[in-house]
Amino acid sequence: MIDLAFLAGVILFLAGAVIPLATISQGNRLTRSIYLGCIISGSIVFSLVSLFVLVNNVPVSIHAWQIFPGVKIGFFIDRLAAFFLFLIGSVSACVALYCAGYVEEMEGGNRRNLFFSGISIFILAMSLIVTSENTFSFLLFWELMAAVSFFLVMYEYNRSETRRAGIFYFVMTQLSTLFVMMGIIILFFATGSFAFAHAPVNQVSAPLLTAAFISLFIGFSIKAGIIPFHKWLPYAHPASPSPVSALMSGVMLKVAVYGLVRFLVTVFTPDLWWGVLILVAGTTSAVLGVIYAIKEDDIKGLLAYSSIENLGIIFVGIGLFVIFSASGLSLLATISLLAALFHSLNHAVFKSLLFLSSGSVVHAVHTRDMEKMGGLAKQMPVTSLLFFIGAAAIAALPPLNGFASELLVYTAFFESVSVINPLLKILLFICLALFALTSALSAACFVKAFGSIFLAKPRSPACEKAHEASLSMLAGPAILAAACGILGVFSYQILTGFGFVLPVPDLLVISIVLLLMGGLVYLGLYFTSSRQTRIGETWGCGAPSLPSSTEYTGHGFSEPIVTIFSSIYRTGKTSTKTYFDQKNCMFAEGTAEIRLVKFFEEYLYLPVARGAYRGAKFIARMQNGCLDTYLMYVFVAVVAILIILGVTA
Amino acid sequence: MTTDFFLYCIINTVCVALIAPLFVSLVKKVKAWTQGRQGPSLFQTYFTLAKLLKKEVIYSKDASWVSRAAPWICIAATLSASLFVPLVYVTEPMGGIGNIILFLYLLVLARFFMALGGLDAGSSFGGMGSSREMSISAVIEPTTIIVFAALAFVFRSLNIIDMASIAAATGTPVTPTLILLGISLFIILIVETARIPVDNPETHLELTMIHEGMILEQSGRNLALLELSSAVKQVVLMGLLINLIVPWGIATSLSLIPLAEAIGIFIVKAAFLALIIGLFESSMAKMRFFRLPSLFMMAFFFSTLIIIIEVFA
Amino acid sequence: MTDAAFFDGIVKVLFVCVIVTSAYIITTKNLISLVRVYSLQSLVLFAIALALWWYTNEPVLLAIAILTLVFKVLLIPYFIASIQERIRIKRDIDFHFLSPTSSLLISLGLMIAIYITLSRILPGSVYNDTLFFFGAVIGISLVLMGMMVTFSRKRAITKVLGYLSMENGVLLFGIFATELPFIIEFLIVIDLVILILLTTILTVGIDSTLEEYHNRLHRFYLWEEMEESS
């Protein structure tokens, strides 16, 4: 019965892909509602299927198509796969709901149909990845997802920055597919099958398994945006339309997390140093991600770097899981893995909420630059509330869901004093301190973001004329915001419901306490304080009605942090001067430049790219288009065969 | 929820709300004495709060719902956090109340809203205050977490109320590690309650105020709520320091005499701590803002040293 | 309140005080407090030696304690302070290679690295007695932190105090890890060396950086050039 439901979901998505293509010439609201309805209902069907499996804990196996013996496409949904399927389904449903309003505002005419067809295939591909039964189908759908996402990113291809971002993204995603493929092939050589089954560790297979893990880890890190492979994220997210950013950041990055967790849990028996590697990569991404986020002006760039930070936190959870399970501390391992998975769900929910509501803002103000926004809380009150809930969740404020998952990570760290190895304990303490730093910095980052966009006075004329988003553009984010609240407040109940009794506090109690305290104070003051209010001017040292240019800007807000961490933000200062005289006394003219050194781009990516280019040019000499060379190759090959036959006979 | 715990909540909240303004004035009085002045009366903060409640609230025309909500959320968060630190009576904690991470993050919730309130009215004073406050809190956070991790390690519990019970049960010998942790907690107290050398709580010059800058635009009842929440935060952190390091006299049973004794002893101990805070503040000048990270680095070094010595030796 | 636990606790606090004073010496820019902190460090060392004598009852420790008190807490700081009063130098702002924050982070890393190295080099029996092992670790850390002061600061007086701090570290290491009588002779020799060094710096210019020191030596004909001797 469940297989039929799953099949129904797949068919709905295929319909959502085909209908826009079929109706590409007649674009009216009815056809748009139909195919968006297909996408929404397909996502809801998948969420229901996954909820069914999660609650009943009965795995579902669906066999689709056997290509050759040993190579087949099949689907297997156990609790881990169902969890990620639920994540994909629910977030996609809300994003598609948002698109129902967004599609009316999008430019591009008939290109929109191609776009939504692509979105449908994208969501379908991601769902099929997490439900794959063997590594072959995993790889097949992974490649499909990568290819379709490139087209989605390139939607506004007439802008040069989008083209650059798209090409960069395409190279990185192909690189990630390459490493994943390599890992799967090495795994095939080590175990002899494509199944997701436990690989036995012995003399022969151990180095192969380690190589497979490294390769898979690099592949998944590139896709997840772990430093130093993260550079495509801050280009791809701002350049693509808001629903695509929401889907990519909220859902696609989690598919990479699913891949890593699936391989670690089901296939490998991890060594301790694997966990240390994942933990260090996660901590670095978390710290550097949020530090770069604080410096951003572009709202979507800020959210992109914040995704890097949160993926770092998820990897910290996974790393802790591997370390604890290799050390034999199973309760702590469970807490860490639950923290990582729960944070994936929470991040998917609040990051897509943030991207969608910032999409409404960007659409209303026609710019992505936060320095030109301001005062939108009065003009777009509902959007400001939704963005606020997302910002509060990502800054880990109790009792919302971001705090619930970070609490699990903190609990795992604090209990880690029972680890025996002293070197490991030191590493865990350092990572704990850095984790606390990222949490505090992300709160600062989102105070800046929310304050620059929604508070104070509008900083540009376009901003003064902004209007609230349409109802359907508010409905999707509203559901996500409600989910943030529910997942946070009822987190303890949800975890206990799935059978995990953990030593973490119950956030429902805290929410009730907060409400009670607020209520008591209000009651107390209702009778004792004056209830008169008046509207007046902001204090400007006596100057009347200061303009918006005197407000604190986002740059100014982040300036103390940038100065304190100035050794991480490398600025290059160059100046050229020309003088009138030979002794360089009389200054004629000059230029001075202070620029932020894009560290990873200039020292890692560009040298690698230039090296690849040189290598390619060298090899290209072999194919120079001249017929004589090719005939000579044939001649050399025949002569070589003759000699070899003569020598070996 | 047992009746014991319910009564604990009531007693703790009432004590905190009533005692908190006293210690704010006490620190001011100590600072005044060292400057050779008489200083305001010990009950001045109560009079100030009463006066503010009677005044009308003025909102800037640029302010949004954030300015209207922020004082309520701040006071609710700090009062909820005050439940986590037992001042006069310890009992078995329930429902996760007392978790040390949740305590820290409730204070972060209050600070988040205060920072947003500072940005809301569109004045540069508020913006500067918010920006500096968020930067300082970011840099002190690793030290705070390391100190809390050390506390959790020493008391073998993640729950502050449990820690206080253990401290009260073992009675006297204060181990040297606890003394060192007390020094770290004192540094954190200075930072979190915005005292010299981090911030000057009595200034109204724009370049020197961090906490005061954020609440500049508030007035009337809202200002009273924010002042009360800062006072509650101070007394809660003082209570954390006192009841973990010098826990003698705390009541473990619900009868009248031990409770009255506990209240009296707590007021004496907290007065002593307030005296130390006042003398400490008077003995140095406020540091330039960008020299604060070096101070915090020293505090971080100190806390990490305590952890290394405790965990490895 | 058993004897061993009490002794353990006191010595742990004293260890922390020693390292904190050493960290202060690395990062401070105020030269007057530098000398006072150095004498405080020597006082803490005196307290450690005294505690150890009270716990183990070896008379050599008492001798070391008194020697430390007389020379390092009273005489040498008084000497340097009186010179500072005459020359009136108060600040040493320049840092070479390392900033105060990075010096603190490196010292933390050094302590951890020394802990790991010593735990692998020394035989198991020494490792079991954790307080003595830890004393050795702290002693070596103090030596290395003093060495960091020597290369990262520019003024001669700060370099001398770094060297003195190094010597404190050797003393601490000696108290905890090696046999004692040898150490006493070692220490007296070092003290004499320091005295000579101080005297030369005193006559030539205690307030100069090393480059100026060379110039002044040349100026006062204290360093003959090769050409002039022929």
Q: What is the mean pLDDT of chain A?
A: 89
Q: Which amino acid is at A116?
A: F
Lowest-pLDDT choice from A308-317, B13-22, C199-208:
C199-208
Closest CB to A535 among B61, B225, B308: B61
Q: What is the pLDDT of residues A434-463, one digit of tens each?
A: 999 999 999 999 999 999 999 888 888 888
Cis peptide before A228 (omega within 30 of 0): yes
Per-residue 3-state assignment (H helix, E strand, C coil) for A337-395: HHHHHHHHHHHHHHHHHHHHHHHHHHHHHCCCEHHHCCCHHHHCHHHHHHHHHHHHHHC
Which residue intervals of A366-470 are DSSP H helices?
376-379, 381-394, 401-414, 422-454, 461-464
Give domain limits for chain B.
3-312
Chain-centre distance of CA A443, in angstroms? 18
A213, A261, A335, A393, C6 from A330: Cα distances, Å? 22, 16, 9, 29, 37
Q: What is the pLDDT of residues C49-83, one digit of tens each?
A: 888 888 888 777 777 788 778 778 887 787 777 77
Binning chain A into helix, strand and coil, the percentages to the nearest 5 are 75, 5, 20
**A71-77 and A571-579: which strand pairing?**
unpaired
Give how far C60 is from chain B: nearest CA, Å: 26
> Which structure tokens are listed for A464?
């003064």
B137, B198, B268, B277, C88 from B193: Cα distances, Å? 11, 9, 20, 11, 39
Contacting C with CB below 8 Å, chain B residues are 173, 175-177, 179-180, 293-294, 297-298, 301-302, 304-306, 308-309, 312-313
d(CA A399, CA A506): 9
pTM metric for this prediction: 0.89
Mean pLDDT of C20-32: 88
Chain C residues closer than 8 Å to A426 by CB: 112
**B57-60 and A571-579: which strand pairing?**
unpaired
| Structure confidence at residue B172 (pLDDT) | 56
Q: What is the pLDDT of residues A187-243, one digit of tens each?
A: 988 888 888 888 787 777 888 899 999 999 999 999 999 988 888 999 999 999 999
| Structure confidence at residue A160 (pLDDT) | 87
Chain C residues closer than 8 Å to B297 by CB: 100-101, 104-105
Lowest-pLDDT choice from A360-364, C87-91, C130-134:
C87-91
Least Cα distance to B81 among B51, B63, B101, B65 occurs for B101
Mean pLDDT of B33-57: 91
Q: What is the pLDDT of residues B98-107, one digit of tens each?
A: 899 999 999 9
Chain A residues closer than 8 Å to C115 by CB: 422
Please give the helix or strand (H or E) that residue B113 lies within, else none.
helix B100-120
Burial of A147 (0-12, 13-18, 19+ CB in 10 A): middle
**Which of A538-552, B180-194, C215-229 is predicted most confidently?**
B180-194
**Which of A114-118, A387-391, A582-586 is predicted most confidently?**
A387-391
* Higher-pLDDT residue of B102, C128: B102
Which residue intervals of A455-531 are DSSP H helices?
461-464, 471-489, 491-497, 507-528
pLDDT at C229 exceeding the cut of 50: no
Please, are residues C171 and C146 in contact by the beta-carbon 8 Å criterion?
Answer: no
Q: Look at chain A and count its residues.
A: 649
Q: What is the pLDDT of residues B86-122, one digit of tens each?
A: 988 888 888 778 899 999 999 999 999 999 998 888 8
A255, A389, A461, B140 from A398: Cα distances, Å? 27, 11, 37, 20
ipTM of predicted assembly, 2 dp: 0.93
pLDDT at C228 exceeding the cut of 50: no
Strand partners, C95: C153
A partners (3+ CB pairs within 8 A) are: B, C
Preferred mutation among C103, C105, C112, C117 to probe A, highest tally of A CBs within 10 A: C112
pLDDT at C196 exceeding the cut of 50: yes
d(CA C87, CA C80): 10
d(CA A525, CA B171): 41
Q: Which amino acid is at B28?
A: K
Question: Does the beta carbon of A608 lie under 8 angstroms from any beta carbon of chain C?
Answer: no
**A587-596 and A571-579: which strand pairing?**
antiparallel
Give how far B32 is from chain A: nearest CA, Å: 29
Q: What 3-state class would DSSP assign to A74? A: strand
Q: What 3-state class would DSSP assign to B87? A: coil
Q: B139-174 b/e with 16+ CB inside 10 Å = b?
A: bbbbbbbbbbbbbbbbbebbbbbbbbbbbbeeeeeb
**B57-60 and A533-536: which strand pairing?**
parallel
Preferred mutation among C13, C29, C102 to probe B, highest tally of B CBs within 10 A: C13
Q: Which amino acid is at B73?
A: I
C-alpha angle with apex B88: B84 to B92, nearest 5 degrees?
Answer: 55
By C-alpha distance, the chain C residue nearest A565 is C101
**Which residue reads 């003064």 in tokens?**
A464
Least Cα distance to B13 among B95, B85, B66, B69 occurs for B85
- Number of cross-chain residue pairs from B and C with Cβ atoms under 8 Å apart: 47
Q: What is the mean pLDDT of chain C?
A: 77
Residues 117-176 of C with CB under 8 A from A: none
Residues 8-27 of C with CB under 8 A from A: none
Give chain C's radius of gyration (CA, Å): 19
| Structure confidence at residue B313 (pLDDT) | 58
* Higher-pLDDT residue of B212, A442: A442
> Which structure tokens are listed for B247?
């826990």
d(CA C115, CA B312): 9
